[in-house]
Amino acid sequence: MRARVSLGGISFSGVSGWPVPHRGTGGNEWVTGRCWLYCRRENISVLWIGPIRAPRADGDLYACGQCIAELVHMVYEEQHRVDIPAHPLD
pLDDT at 87 over 60: yes
pTM of the model: 0.66
How many angstroms separate the CA atoms of 51 and 53, rounded? 7
Question: 11-12 and 19-20: which strand pairing?
Answer: antiparallel
pLDDT at 3 over 50: no
- Stretch 21-37: mean pLDDT: 75
| Three-state helix/strand/coil letters over the chain | CCCCCCCCCCEECCCCCCEECCCCCCCCCCEEECCCCCCCCCCEEEEEEEEEEECCEEEEEEECHHHHHHHHHHHHHHHHHHHCCCCCCC
